[in-house]
Amino acid sequence: MTATSTQEAGDADGNHVYRRITLRLIPFIFICYLFNYLDRVNVGFAKLQMLDALSFSETVYGLGAGIFFIGYVLCGLPSNLALNRFGPRRWIGLMMITWGIFSTCLLFVTTPVEFYVLRFLTGMAEAGFFPGIVLYLSRWYPNQRRGRIMALFMSAIPVSGLLGGPFSGWILNHFAAGQGGMAGWQWMFLIQGLPTVALGVLAFVLLCDRVEDARWLTPAQRQRVKTDITNDELSRPVQGKSSVASVLSMPFIWILGFIYFCIQSGVYAINFWLPSIIKNLGFSDALVIGWISAVPYLMAGVFMLLVGRSADLRNEHRWHLVVPMLMGATGLIIAANFATMPIIAILGLTIATMGALTSLPMFWPLPTALLSASVAALQRAGWR
């Protein structure tokens, strides 16, 4: 057998192994992240009824929507240290049960303070989920396979908008008469929050903490994954700095943080305000708003998968990040400047959503590739 045929056989075997891992892990993780994102941003649809029902101002809503991220930032690192200590299976399951309860409890809100407290607690509970999943997937996929997997996993974001928009609009309309003594927005928090609790329970059963625990892989397949991950880590350049303090002193760490801040600013400007923007364009029916809001997310989902595939095939991630970010900024500018022209404004919002959401999975391979010292330091701090 020639060297070329041996390599092709090895590649085919590797593709089979990672396809098996993907079919086993990604569907469940995808559904979990779909509800994670839905529970985070469904206040955008609740706002259509909630503000009038509770006499909340736009300022109260904006503060409540944003205070989520204070809890999210404060508990991000501690949550992932806990993930290392207790294992992904237990900690991810516990996080989901906790934020599912807090998100559901939003139906009981009557005052701004209660709204702020529950949003803050939801942020605390969700803080470790996304970075924990990113870390978890890095234990199963080498870097050259991670771009497409991240795009596949994070396509749950546009899918949550694609399905969540019409579904939320239907709930608001269907329960507008106050069935069961609750308003439509209260039913929405209940119906969309409880499944997260059930998924948290399932996480205890379906997830494996380590490749070594995956009995659904053969010993040879487990060894193949471990070897690929080890080789991936050894291929990164070794840098001298290794402490957390030293890592935080690196300028490019802050540059990456600023880039991610810009991406998320665009993403959440869309997620939290898209239903209200569509309403201000002249659409008043909640279900119609839901269907219109699904269009940008549908286009974003397709675009995200195409860009993720392109990035992996070309083994290039920087320009695959830059172009979607520029699209996101351009789309928001178009929407802002043509607010009185619904078709052009919705086109701008669609371009913005495609660019902003696709920037997310394209960002995450960069820290993995660039921050070898950071990864080492975080592993010593507990991210192992």
Residue 381 has pLDDT above 50, yes or no: no
Residue bearing tokens 């303090």: 245
Residue bearing tokens 């052009």: 344
- Asked if the structure places residue 14 within a domain, the reply is no
- Asked if the structure places residue 6 within a domain, the reply is no
pLDDT value at residue 370 = 63
Query: Measuring CA to CA, which residue among 354, 358, 335, 355 is closest to residue 346?
Result: 335
- Asked if the structure places residue 7 within a domain, the reply is no
Tens digits of residue pLDDT in 113-142? 999 999 999 999 998 898 888 888 888 888
Give the CATH number for residue 73: 1.20.1250.20
d(CA 122, CA 129): 12
Residue 384 has pLDDT above 90, yes or no: no
d(CA 12, CA 10): 5
- Asked if the structure places residue 11 within a domain, the reply is no
pLDDT value at residue 238 = 54
pLDDT value at residue 132 = 85
pLDDT value at residue 107 = 94
- Mean pLDDT to the nearest integer, 82-95: 88
Residue bearing tokens 């860009």: 307
pLDDT value at residue 243 = 56
- Asked if the structure places residue 1 within a domain, the reply is no
CB-based burial, 16-38: b 16+ in 10 Å, e otherwise: ebbeebbebbbeebebbbbbbbb
User: What range does the domain containing 266 cover?
Assistant: 19-211+220-234+242-381
- Mean pLDDT to the nearest integer, 237-258: 68
d(CA 338, CA 351): 14
In degrees, rounded to 5, the angle at the alpha carbon of residue 241 between the alpha carbons of residues 235 and 244 is 110
- Asked if the structure places residue 38 within a domain, the reply is yes
Signed CA dihedral, 43, 46, 47, 48: sign only: positive
* Domain total in the chain: 1
**HSE-up of 187 (CA within 13 Å, CB side)?**
19
d(CA 93, CA 197): 9
Signed CA dihedral, 40, 46, 50, 51: sign only: positive
Signed CA dihedral, 107, 108, 111, 116: sign only: negative
- Mean pLDDT to the nearest integer, 166-192: 90
- Asked if the structure places residue 5 within a domain, the reply is no
* Residues 6+ away with beta carbon under 8 Å from 374: 247, 250, 253, 367
Query: Measuring CA to CA, which residue among 122, 129, 145, 111 is closest to residue 22?
Result: 145
Residue 371 has pLDDT above 90, yes or no: no
d(CA 375, CA 362): 18
- Asked if the structure places residue 9 within a domain, the reply is no
pLDDT value at residue 56 = 92
pLDDT value at residue 245 = 67
**293 with 161: CB under 8 angstroms?**
yes
**Containing H/E element for 277?**
helix 251-280
Residue 382 has pLDDT above 50, yes or no: no
* CA of residue 11 relative to chain centroid, distance: 30
